[in-house]
A and B are shown apart, each in its own frame.
Chain A
Amino acid sequence: MSLDVPALSSEVAKPFLLSLADDELVMGHRLSFWVARGPTIEVDNEVAAIVQDELGHARLWYDVVAEAGETIEDLAFGRPAGQRRNTVLVEAPMADFGETIVRQFLYDRAEELFLSAIRDGDDAELSARAEVALREEAFHREHADVWLDHLSETEESRAHLEAGFEACLPRSRDLFAFPEGTSQELVEAGVLDRAIPTLHTEWIEEVVSTLSDLPLDVPLRTSPIENDAADIPDALEGEPATNGRLGEHTDELVELAENGFTEF
């Protein structure tokens, strides 16, 4: 699809948008595990709707970056892992509903921030697409909030959530870890209305704030980070062990790409 997107003249725009698309694709794909397999019939319906949202969002961005003759199947299912730019947070197959909710929470908050920065940016086409996705994100936000709250009810369910945070927080380190210079160029090109590190800080604040409202035992570092009063959860400290934004991925994603997304 050829579109008039001035922002694409910037070298970093395509890899950035591919990141967003790849994020949504893998997240949506992994989440589809729960379709007709949810804890209740109502959840089956809810999850099916969210999966369609995520896959729909991925398509919004794939359509923008597709070269002439490139189909969405080429982009979504055909690229080897090394070319993919999704966060490693979304890569593991899903198996536990608690971990799934935690992953959704951490991931969707980040997505929302990226989308709002694009919506408030200068590129009309990108902004419009971000707006479309954001409308559905409102529901995803509520979904995560309600489920995190409800799954904090028993000792056993809290244990599932805590294990989920333990697994997901370290994998969240690459969410905002884009290559050097990406953020500055995206802001200059008007794709984003604010810098990626700013989004990262906002995200941390939201995560910490949400955690502080939940009766969960998720270790936080006690000393504050540089410019903010917010504490960073231990597991988020430091550079990502594997940075999906640079094309580094887990074996699980490598396998998924190799089989062309034909397994959950």
Chain B
Amino acid sequence: MSSELEQRVEAGETLEPTDELTDEYRSLLAAMVRFTANTELIGAWLERPHIPHAPTYERRLAIIAKIQDEVGHAQMQYRLVEDITGKSRNELLDDLLSGRSGFGNAFQYEIDSWQEYAMFVWLADGGAMTLQHTLLRSSYGPYARVMRRICREEEFHIRYAGDIVRRQVNHSEERKRQMQELLNEWWPRGMLFFGHKDGESESVGRMMELGIRTKSNDECRQAYLDNFVPKIRDFGLEVPDPNVEYDEEAGRWNYSEPDWAELERTREGQGPLAASRVDTRREAFEEADWVRDALGERYRAGLGDTRAAGAAGD
């Protein structure tokens, strides 16, 4: 029997913060939003070192703009988690910096060159966009609204990434070969973007029943293939999986079984692995303690004024 909340979701109602939400709903929602928020911020941090490698002036500007967008996306989503759970934005940030909370598997790997950056961003942003599009109809109003802005900005990211890959592929045969090698390396990771196959995760199932997510992991994977297989072929590259083929009858893509063990490894290593990925950022953050202290002093000074004004009967 469906709960009242589930009935409302089934009826297509959008839930708002003023609605009575169950603990389960809030818990699952918070986990989902937190995950997408963390992933945006990690993405921004991982892209940063490549700013000076952008070969053209336009690309420099674009990569900086993209990173700016991503920080903003994380910021907006942390706000949602803040409102849902009561945990402050800074606590969430702290959890991420200390490796206590996780992010997507793709961000666990090293990116060693501008070419590799291009391939990574192309696939990862494509994956992110797929997921974000399915969240446009999330049952939670604030999340769906935030996704509208995110998807708009993501559109530029997708074009940007595609443009870089196109330039690389058209640059020379040698460069094209390099890009194919990078695709060979990153494609299997991309197939793990959307997590385990359907049926393995109870929480994903519940998220779908509650409308928090509108597509399952496998459905997202299908959409990802819909998007990338033609694009890969357009660029004259090969999908590095001979089993990737569209089954007309079944109306779905077939593909080789993804490396689930690798997914487990990236998840298990989440603590130490994740923490090491963010080492630089955490150190940088700590180096700037003095800045936040100064702002904190200013804040407290401001409070003092208010209290004094209040005491004087203002």
Contacts and interface: CB of A to CB of B under 8 A. Distances in A.
CB atoms of A and B under 8 A apart anywhere in the complex?
A: yes
B311 interface: no
A160 B71 contact: no
A54 to B, nearest CB: 10
B64 interface: yes
Interface string B275-295: 000000100110010111111
Interface stretch (B44-52, B127-135, B185-193): B44-52
B60 A55 contact: yes
B301 interface: yes
B115 to A, nearest CB: 14
A49 B67 CA distance: 11
A35 B48 contact: yes
A48 B74 CA distance: 15
Interface residues of A, number: 36
Interface stretch (A39-47, A81-89, A177-185): A39-47
A106 B285 CA distance: 25
A109 to B, nearest CB: 22
B57 A41 contact: no
A41 B71 contact: yes
B294 A36 contact: no
A145 to B, nearest CB: 14
Contact of B65 (A52, A72, A76, A153): A52
Given A36-B71, A263-B52, A55 B61 contact: yes
A152 B60 CA distance: 33
Interface of A: 29, 32, 35-42, 44-45, 48-49, 51-52, 55-56, 59, 72-73, 76, 97-98, 150-154, 156-157, 160, 261-264
| A-B CB proximity, top 8 nearest | A39-B288, A48-B68, A157-B294, A39-B291, A36-B48, A153-B294, A153-B297, A36-B44
Interface string B36-70: 00000000110110011101110011001101100
A154 B296 CA distance: 10
Contacts of B72: 45
B32 interface: no
Contacts of B74: 41
Nearest to B49: A264
A157 B290 contact: yes
Contacts of A40: 291-292, 295
B298 interface: yes
Nearest to A75: B57
B297 A154 contact: yes
Given A44-B71, A52-B65, A262-B53, A37 B290 contact: no
A98 B292 CA distance: 12
A56 B62 CA distance: 12
B68 A39 contact: no
Size range of the chain B interface in the assembly: 35 or more
Given A36-B71, A37-B281, A263-B52, A154 B64 contact: no
Most chain A C-beta atoms within 10 Å of own C-beta, residue among B47, B52, B301: B52
A32 B52 CA distance: 9
B5 interface: no
Contacts of A32: 51-52, 60, 64
Given A52-B65, A153-B298, A35 B57 contact: no
B93 interface: yes
B291 A35 contact: no
A45 B68 contact: yes
Contacts of B44: 36, 44
A156 B68 contact: no
B145 to A, nearest CB: 19
A6 to B, nearest CB: 27
A70 to B, nearest CB: 12
A151 B72 CA distance: 24
Contacts of B52: 29, 32, 261-264
Given A45-B72, A56-B61, A261-B52, A153 B301 contact: yes
Given A36-B44, A36-B281, A41-B71, 20 more contacts: A35-B48, A36-B48, A39-B291, A45-B71, A48-B65, A52-B68, A55-B57, A55-B60, A55-B64, A73-B55, A150-B298, A151-B291, A151-B294, A152-B294, A154-B294, A156-B293, A157-B290, A157-B291, A261-B52, A264-B52
B178 interface: no
B51 A35 contact: yes
Contacts of B56: 73
A29 B72 CA distance: 21
A51 to B, nearest CB: 6
Interface in B205-258: none
6 contacts: A36-B44, A38-B288, A40-B291, A44-B71, A48-B64, A59-B57
A154 B293 contact: yes
A55 B63 CA distance: 13
Nearest to A77: B57
A42 B293 CA distance: 16
B120 to A, nearest CB: 16
A150 B281 CA distance: 23
